[in-house]
Amino acid sequence: MTTAIVFVEHADGTPRRASLECVGAAVAAGATVVAVLTGAGAEGAAAAVTGASEAVILTGGDGYSPDAFSAACAELIKARSAKAFFAASTYRGKDLAPRVAARLDVVPFADCIALSASGGGFEVRRPWLAGRCIATLGTSGDVMVATTRLNVFKPAASGAPAKVSNGAISEAPKARVTSVEAKTSSRLDVKEAAVIVSGGRGLQDAEKFKIVEELAAAFGNAAVGASRAIVDAGWRPHGEQVGQTGKTVSPKLYIAIGISGAIQHLAGMRTSGTIVAINKDKDAPIFKVADYGIVGDAFEIVPALTAAVKAVKAQA
């Protein structure tokens, strides 16, 4: 069987869901997965990586260094004659994978939405031009290096690593993380969330945007998203922007409120599971991609929807 090394991120000893989805994608494509982890709490997280046959914890250095860690990952890939290196398409994964690829002198692929075995190696499917077309790609390189889009793949159902071993990060770092300000809110990032409630210019001003936050809060675990127009206007931070110059998302449920649906926004969310649009303009392009639409005043509709969602959640 082909071996794939998968980078697993974790928090407080718990593997991140995005990484478990990535392991799941590799297992589903027929690979034997060796998980690679680093950082405080890696031992606890390693034992909880469902789908991995083995885990390797890399330690060394003062603070995370992407260049030093990528060197150690490349060494591990060579030592195991692995045919692939996968990571979730998170900040850390997207930063790491190209470095590992360059160490191996192979081409990497980001944000893949399908992964499959092909002729002893792997093939991927990924969006180009922010989803305006989908490319199926292979590589003539020795190793397939790819990151997987969040919320697209399923984690493996069960199976913990039978063996956990240690390795060293030995290269001198050229860049390293010296401090981290953790997010103060517990709200999920738009890339990770299963439900996103997004708002646009139709909400009139930054103050009135709170109806979007209230609906997101009613879902419990929803993220708040924003259109480019209102990020540029300074109502919301760039981290919340969905679209070609923001984040590309695939939640189970995407609710667009007061967003007309410019190409640049649709590019970032058209692969969502179910799309709901609330807009006063019945001809708004967002209705063309929406599964369900309500035409009308968001300031009447959204509070009513918030109350209805709260009522359902209270029953659950």
Partner 1 sequence: MNIVACVKRVPTTEAEVKVSGDGKALETGGIAYMISFYDEIALEEAVKTKEALGSGEVTVLTIGPADGTKEIRECLAKGADKALLLKDDAWMNRDARATAKALAQQLGEMKADLVFMGRVATDRDNAAVGPMTATYLGWACVTDVIGLEIKDRAGKARVETEHGVETVEFSLPAIVTCNKGLNEPRYAGLKGIMAAKKKPLEEGTALDVPNQTQIVQIALPPARKEGRIVGEGAAAVPALMDALRNEAQVL
Asked if 285 contacts 262 with a C-beta cutoff of 8 angstroms, the reply is: yes
| Ramachandran sector of residue 241 (left: φ over 0; alpha: ψ -120 to 50; beta: rest) | beta
**Interface with partner 1 by CB under 8 A: which range of 30-38, 40-48, 53-61, 135-143?**
135-143
Question: Between residue 15 and residue 44, which ones bind partner 1 under the rule CB under 8 A?
Answer: none
| C-alpha distances out from residue 141 to 22, 101, 198, 288, Å | 21, 10, 40, 40
Question: Between residue 222 and residue 251, which ones bind partner 1 under the rule CB under 8 A?
Answer: 231, 237-239, 241, 244-246, 248
Question: Between residue 72 and residue 91, which ones bind partner 1 under the rule CB under 8 A?
Answer: 90-91
Q: Closest separation between CB of residue 163 and partner 1, Å?
A: 29
Which SS3 state, helix, strand or coil, does residue 144 take?
A: strand
Number of chain positions touching partner 1 (CB under 8 A): 91
Structure tokens at 98: 């190209």
Question: Between residue 154 and residue 213, which ones bind partner 1 under the rule CB under 8 A?
Answer: 174-183, 189, 191-192, 195
According to CB under 8 A, which one of 106, 114, 152, 217 is a site residue for partner 1? Answer: 106
Q: Closest separation between CB of residue 131 and partner 1, Å?
A: 6
**Interface with partner 1 by CB under 8 A: which range of 22-30, 76-84, 133-141, 162-170?**
133-141
According to CB under 8 A, which one of 30, 78, 128, 165 is a site residue for partner 1? Answer: 128
| Residue 67 binds to partner 1 (criterion: CB under 8 A) | yes
Nearest-CA neighbor of 224 among 245, 179, 255, 201?
255
Amino acid at 170: S
Return the number of the residue (54 or 192) whose C-beta is nearest partner 1. Answer: 192
Return the sign of the alpha-carbon dihedral for residues 241, 199, 154, 17: positive
DSSP string for 78-94: HHTT-SEEEEESSHHHH
* CA–CA separation, 91 and 220 (whole Å): 24
Q: Closest separation between CB of residue 15 and partner 1, Å?
A: 14
Question: Between residue 246 and residue 265, which ones bind partner 1 under the rule CB under 8 A?
Answer: 246, 248, 252-253, 263-264
| C-alpha distances out from residue 218 to 18, 111, 274, 302, 307, Å | 24, 30, 18, 11, 8
According to CB under 8 A, which one of 48, 130, 152, 217 is a site residue for partner 1? Answer: 130
According to CB under 8 A, which one of 51, 61, 127, 200 is a site residue for partner 1? Answer: 127
**Interface with partner 1 by CB under 8 A: which range of 25-33, 75-83, 104-112, 198-206?**
104-112
* CA–CA separation, 247 and 240 (whole Å): 8
**Interface with partner 1 by CB under 8 A: which range of 76-84, 96-104, 156-164, 205-213?**
96-104
Burial (0-12, 13-18, 19+ Cβ within 10 Å), 37? buried
